[in-house]
Amino acid sequence: MKKLHAMVFTVCLLGLSPLAFAETVNLTNSADGADRDAGIAAVKKKLQQACKDRQGTADTDSFEVVFEKTSANPDVPKPYYVDGKMQCELPGA
């Protein structure tokens, strides 16, 4: 019986650990690029940095392009605009 109580107590402590309160959030951002690949790479980098700034872990597999547009103006140095989103696992408080 003592082992059962000790095991239940241990499980309760693990359940209350900070990892149990971790939260997944969606981050969004935008970036410009010289072409589609450069725009996507720039927005991915911004999203990963934003997650890192919040002491989180970025889920790069969850990255998704939300909006993209190419400028018709040939004088624009970075004509490709990309909005993207990515999930970030934040530690518990």
CATH of the domain at 51: 3.30.1660
Range of the domain at 26: 22-90
What is the DSSP secondary structure assignment for residue 49, as one 8-state letter?
H
Q: What is the distance between the alpha carbons of residues 36 and 47, in angstroms, rounded to a whole number? A: 17
Report the SS3 class of residue 63: strand
On whether residue 1 sits in a domain, the answer given is no
Is 69 within 8 Å of 79 (Cβ atoms)? no
On whether residue 54 sits in a domain, the answer given is yes
- If one counts the domains in the chain, the total is 1
pLDDT at position 22, please? 73
pLDDT at position 45, please? 97
Q: List the pLDDT tens digit at each of the 93 positions of the chain.
A: 667 666 666 655 555 555 556 788 999 999 999 999 999 999 999 999 999 999 999 999 999 999 999 999 989 899 999 999 999 999 875
Q: What is the distance between the alpha carbons of residues 44 and 57, in angstroms, rounded to a whole number? A: 13
